[in-house]
Structures are given as structure tokens and as C-alpha cells.
Amino acid sequence: MFLTLRVHATYSQIQPQTSSSVMAEHLSLSGYISPCLSTVSFSTVGSDDEGSSWICGAPCDGGCLAGDITARPRSEGNEENLDQEPLLLCYRGYLEIDIKVYHCNHANLHKGNEICDRMIDFLIHQSHTSAYEAFRWRRPNEVLIFPCAFAQCLLAVDEAVSQVELAHKLQCLHSKVVRFTPAQIWTSTLLIVPAQVGCHRVLLAVTNARLAMSQSEPARSIHEVIPGHSRPDRTPFAILFLSSTPLVISTDIERIKVLFQLYLQVLWKRQSGSDLEFIDWVDVNSPGQDIVSKEALHVVRNAEVLMRPGVADRLRQAHQGVYMMKAAEWNAIFNPQVMEGDFYRQRKLKVVKQEAQLWQMNA
């Protein structure tokens, strides 16, 4: 299978400004605490209305998928013996995915160490709940969140096999790790996919999956340029790539791009029976830093920013050259000062404390 990838260079017109005059955030999402809690353990299983060909055994429980694909989040040392760890909270947001957080997970966040996949999953889901309660999308599953385990399993797939076998492996991965049906994914406006690429944490985000088309469909008929735009917006369905550290071109980066595109193609084939259109990759300029232990918090923060109405599309259009984004707007979107010092980590510690208190009250 041959794929053509087009990766846009970082949009040079968008440069961060860190002066004290940077505009404050439009809304602090961390102030909203979800009442949606559950004591069910964290397990992402394919929905019951999936076709039988998508069911490839037991759910994600620490076992392996076909081809030795690990079906559990990456261990962080203290993740190895969780049965002996005291439970801090169980969380269920509007996407109805259950996540357990243990005291050892909280300890890493409290000490300023690198946080584990479980904590990343929890913080992004809590941000999803806050965003939905603040902005009231038409439905909660307009924005979907993949677990950190998805990218790890995806990178474990051996693509040097036949197309039929590769498609089966990707279907099996979907059934074991992804909680959502193909129909839910292809009616979403935003997919949030946190990933570990080599020793770095990055964020992938799919915009406007609901506007994806088959290769056989006629091209979108766009005759006019929207006022304020430089050219027509012909590729609303795209994949955004956000990283807080400068990444050299590595095998893992290229592989996750190819494999994620293959995954979407298999998912589309299952849903529509036809081949998926070209997928545009967009490198988004986001606030940077050089502390590895803060990469995961930058992933959470970037996911939080993209979930605000219209932000993902504005960033996509700016980096695709559809319109020129000024530095002031970039600063208003990301407010990079939030990530300076210890402010954001302390904010998330408060979120964990509040959610733990709510869970204990309802347990």
C-alpha cells in the first residue's frame, strides 16, 4: 500500500510572545468539576453494536493483541503493581469511559515528575467534561478522546505484512483499545489522540472527521473565498500534530503518521466500503519548552485548548495558509504564560484533589 504524505512546515507567521501583556485565557476550564463519577475499573472495550469482525478477543486488560501488540498503557515503574496501590479516585466523564487513578499516579504529578498514561487520560477526560459543561456542544461525543494506549499499540503493529493481515491487526487494535464505533468517529468534529513517540509526548488531533469523503466522491465545490481568508478551505478533514519540544525526523514519528493514516483508512473502509480521501497532515506551532517531565502536561494543555469551539479549525486554517493568523490571536489561543513555572501543574493538582473528594463523597 503506497501513501502520499504532505506535511506542512511550521507556519512562520505565527510566533509566540511571552511578554506580560499577553491576553489572558478566554475561560479557565479547570474551574468546572464533573459530577459524573464511577467506580468501574478502566477498560476500553469496543461497543456492543460493532460488527463481529471487529471483535478480536478480550478487552484491554494488560494482555497482548495479535502480533504481540501490548494492550495496556506504558508502565512508569510505579504502574507495575497497581493491585497493591491505594486507589485515589475513579472517574467517568460524558464519554462514559472509566478511569482509575492511584495515589502513586498523583505522587508523580505532585512531585513534578513525568506523569503516566493513566494520569494523562484522566486529565484530558476531565478537561473534556469541563469544556462540554462550559460550551455545551450539541452532544458530548462531538469531541472524542483516544487513550494513550492507542498510540503505543499502533506503533507496535508490524506493517510489513499483507494488506489483509494489516487491516485485521488494525481492526483488532480498534476493538481492544478504542471505545468508540466507526460511526461515532466519522460523525465527530474533533478526535484527540495523545501519543508517546520515542521519548517524547506529542498530540495528534483529527479535525472534521464528519466531513471526510471517499476518493470516488467529486471534489468539494467551493467557488468563493470566505472574507478574511487567503484561499478556499478545501481540506477541513486533516490531522494536526502538536509537540512542545523540537523533534528531529525520526522513524517513530514517520511510522505513527503512516500507521495512523492506515488506521483511519481501515476504519473508513469498514464504515463506507470505499477508499478514504487524501488526509492532510498539519504541523501546528504550539508553546515550546525543554523540560521532558513537562511534555505530558503540555499534551493535556494542548488538548484542552483544541476543545474550545472553533480553535482547532482556526489553527488548521492558519497553518494550511487559508488565512493569516496574527501573533496576538495565537497568544490569545494558547496563552503560553500558563505553562511557565509551576502554575499549570498546581492547577491540575487542584483538579485531582477536587475530583477525588467528589468520588469519595459518592463512593
Provide the whole-model pTM.
0.78
pLDDT in the model for residue 145: 98
Average pLDDT, the chain: 77
Q: Alpha-carbon distance 341 to 331, whole Å?
A: 17
Cβ-based neighbours of 56, under 8 Å, separated by 6 or more:
65, 66, 168, 171, 172, 175, 176
Q: Which residue has the higher pLDDT, 291 or 179?
A: 179
Residues 130/30, Cβ–Cβ less than 8 Å: yes
The one-letter amino acid code at 50 reads E
Domain boundaries, the chain: 7-27+36-362
Q: What is the pLDDT of residues 152-190, one digit of tens each?
A: 999 999 888 889 999 999 999 999 999 899 999 999 999
Q: What is the pLDDT of residues 312-334, one digit of tens each?
A: 999 998 888 888 899 999 999 99
How confident is the model over 261-286, as a mean pLDDT? 90
Q: Alpha-carbon distance 176 to 189, whole Å?
A: 23
Q: Alpha-carbon distance 348 to 307, whole Å?
A: 17
Angle between helices 311-320 and 327-334 (to 10 degrees): 140
The one-letter amino acid code at 174 reads H
| Number of Cβ atoms within 10 Å of the Cβ of 1 | 11
Residues 268/309, Cβ–Cβ less than 8 Å: no
Topology (CATH level 3) of domain 7-27+36-362: Adenoviral Proteinase; Chain (3.40.395)
Q: Alpha-carbon distance 140 to 210, whole Å?
A: 15
Residues 288/245, Cβ–Cβ less than 8 Å: yes
Q: Alpha-carbon distance 359 to 353, whole Å?
A: 10
Angle (nearest 5°) at CA 137 between 133 and 142: 115
- Binned at pLDDT 50, 70 and 90, residue 246 comes out as confident
**What phi and psi, each to the nearest 5 degrees, are found at residue 227?**
-50, 130
Q: Which residue has the higher pLDDT, 105 or 47?
A: 105
Q: What is the pLDDT of residues 57-71, one digit of tens each?
A: 434 333 333 333 333
How confident is the model over 109-118, as a mean pLDDT? 93
- Binned at pLDDT 50, 70 and 90, residue 253 comes out as confident
